[in-house]
Amino acid sequence: MGEKMSSCKASCVVLLVCFIVGLCSVCQCSAAEVDANQTANLIINGSSTRPIPETLFGIFFEVSFLLSIQEFDSRLEINHAGAGGIWAELVNNRGFEAGGQNTPSNIDPWSIIGDQSSLIVSTDRSSCFERNKVALRMDVLCDSTGGSICPAGGVGIYNPGFWGMNIEQGKAYKVVLYVRSLGSINVSVSLTSSDGSQILASANIVDSDVSNWTKAEVQLEAKGTNPNSRLQLTTSRKGVIWFDQVSAMPLDTYKGHGFRNELIEMIDDIKPQFVRFPGGCFVEGEWLRNAFRWKESIGPWEERPGHFGDVWMYWTDDGLGYFEFLQLTEDLGARPIWVFNNGISHQDQVDTTAVSPFVQEALDGLEFARGDSNSKWGSVRAAMGHPEPFDLKYVAVGNEDCGKKNYRGNYIKFYNAIRSAYPDIKIISNCDGSSRSLDHPADYYDYHVYTSASNLFSMTRQFDRTSRTGPKAFVSEYAVTGKDAGTGSLLAALAEAGFLIGLEKNSDIVEMASYAPLFVNANDRRWSPDAIVFNSSMHYGTPSYWVQKFFRESSGATLLDAKLQTNSSTLVASAITWQNSDGKTYLKIKIVNFGNSKVNLKVSIYGLGLSSQSSGSTKTVLTSSNLMDENSFANPKKVVPAQTTLENAGKDMDVVLSPYSLTSFDLLTESNNIRMPQTDSLSRSSI
């Protein structure tokens, strides 16, 4: 980009000199060089086609993410994408387990209402839940009568959630908690402002006998709105009260399954064809003892032990577990891709001779997802409310473990066991097979790339020379990173769009691709950029998110032969046909102009009839006045696609491409059905 800017400045100097000395002929020549935009031709052949896999574009969800050690100096990411993110649980550390199993322990972020003269708060191991033994003990020293009167409003504890709970007027919230006391109780359960001065909703739990652990539930309807609220448990009755497993959830969640509506709707809007979960580094752990274990994340939420994520250094209650991921994928109409631990973490690994228990754990996980409701693990799934099997047909053996000593040996153990028990399941290797053949069997190989904008754009043809025999490619993680990315820049998004066009045109070998990371909580941002940014009450898509929407019709579409005739290395284009929900067929042409000049593009379309109804054709452009422009909470739509009617739609069109832009032309065809070819008539060299 710097060379082009220098060239532009030099041309301007020439113009100025020409004007001064009156050398008209030279001036006219120089003016033509500067003022005339670049020109290019795009020739689309509708009779030369290839089907695009139905799985091409999806999403990768990871509760958190680890930055590249080489690029980012070993800094750790804490995105809170799951806990405090898409999972709608409002309480942070609901089981008081985050401080560890030894007591007394830290109860953060819970805090105390009252002083030591009226209240003593501690933890002990008296819980009724065998896998979460820590409970909170509250010794109330004051009373409503007598010599030591409790302060107005009582004493107790509060939880601020994940940087504030978003409580909205008119909405209902369900609070569930377990309580025990040696005497009768009168506990106020309230949603309040961050300082407790504003009561948004309140109810009382009154019971004369809770000598044994008792489950209590209240439903609260908010009388006001506050995005920085907290949950309070208070009393003005002297005695000892124990609390455990305190949960607060909005009643209105995505399809009633516990997910935050507005965040999942953003995912749904890009029509992902698969969901890769529960992560990469989240699955591995820094040490195996802290790796995500699916068996610990299923069953009643109160009984889940949770675990400390030692890659990004925070606790998760695992309310968002294996079952919930499978349910979310089903709700989105997508295909689940389960990534499981293969006996390898960042710091330790199991020898292949001892990996059999890990293999069995993976097989048990497959039985949980796919087994009959009468099977051992299928019955557990059925008891959780899903008697029918989930449609799990893809698994990844580990994450980024290919270079580790025991990976290949461990992988083969997993591969053979899964292939024998579930021959229809597609198995994904961590090893990259794009430049040379794998030395082990696999259905897919995993490919990750994080790099600068110029590098990623230059990788548009990365898979052009990849062998078409053997496993298919799964580009499960890609993004522009570093200074080009900012916290989500237009520059990064355009480079990613160019890369995606390359994947689309190589979709005979690349069958799946997903951007990473997907989410970031703005209160704990340590990785940039991300597709979707949120806090307790607001959210927006970065330009990288909006790029995804340009490709949401690509999966299962038909790729057409599209040839660019240009001397520019900053243009890349593709063409597909796709059908909308009404059965109408459109020709979609996508073009990235990664240069700083306008381009006069002549589009010629052959072998495809177009509708005479120009009102059905549109032009959509993603661009901005500055390459580093970003969206924000203050201006969430600074860089978003702008759609207009395409007035001159036809087989021959002259269009102008803005500098640094992604442009899509959607032209209504005259046929509602484009016949898919029986054979691959589109060679790689033609695209």
Beta-bridge partners for 234: 156, 188
161 Cβ neighbours under 8 A, 6+ residues apart: 84, 90, 91, 92, 109, 229, 230, 231, 248, 536
Residue 29 in this model has a pLDDT that exceeds 60 = no
pLDDT score of 22: 39
Provide the pLDDT confidence category of residue 115 given band limits of 50, 70 and 90: very high
Q: How far apart are CA 360 and CA 345, in angstroms?
A: 18
Q: What is the pLDDT of residues 490-533, one digit of tens each?
A: 999 999 999 999 999 999 999 999 999 999 999 988 788 999 99
Q: How far apart are CA 173 and CA 102, in angstroms?
A: 32
In the block, residue with structure tokens 């069109």: 653
Mean pLDDT of 116-141: 97
pLDDT score of 605: 97
Mean pLDDT of 68-92: 64
Cβ atoms 248, 165 nearer than 8 A: yes
DSSP code for 99: T
622 Cβ neighbours under 8 A, 6+ residues apart: 490, 493, 494, 497, 543, 546, 547, 550, 639, 640, 641, 642, 661, 662, 663
Cβ atoms 659, 596 nearer than 8 A: yes
pLDDT score of 528: 85
Helix (H, G, I), strand (E, B) or coil at 302: helix
Q: What is the pLDDT of residues 163-188, one digit of tens each?
A: 999 999 999 999 999 999 999 999 99
Q: Which two tokens stand for residue 475?
A: 């580009």
Cβ atoms 477, 280 nearer than 8 A: yes
Omega before 641 within 30 of 0, i.e. cis: no
Q: How far apart are CA 433 and CA 75, in angstroms?
A: 29
Q: How far apart are CA 288 and CA 346, in angstroms?
A: 8
pLDDT score of 31: 30
Cβ atoms 524, 530 nearer than 8 A: no
Q: How far apart are CA 110 and CA 112, in angstroms?
A: 7
Q: Nearest-5° angle of CA 670, CA 671, CA 672?
A: 125
Q: How far apart are CA 20 and CA 18, in angstroms?
A: 5
Weakest mean pLDDT among 265-269, 438-442, 527-531, 555-559: 527-531
Provide the pLDDT confidence category of residue 408 given band limits of 50, 70 and 90: very high
Mean pLDDT (the chain, rounded):
90
Weakest mean pLDDT among 272-281, 357-366, 491-500, 535-544: 272-281
pLDDT score of 6: 38
Q: How far apart are CA 17 and CA 300, in angstroms?
A: 79
Element (H, E) at 3: helix 2-21
88 Cβ neighbours under 8 A, 6+ residues apart: 249, 250, 253, 258, 259, 260
Question: pTM of this prediction?
Answer: 0.91
Q: What is the pLDDT of residues 258-271, one digit of tens each?
A: 999 999 999 999 99
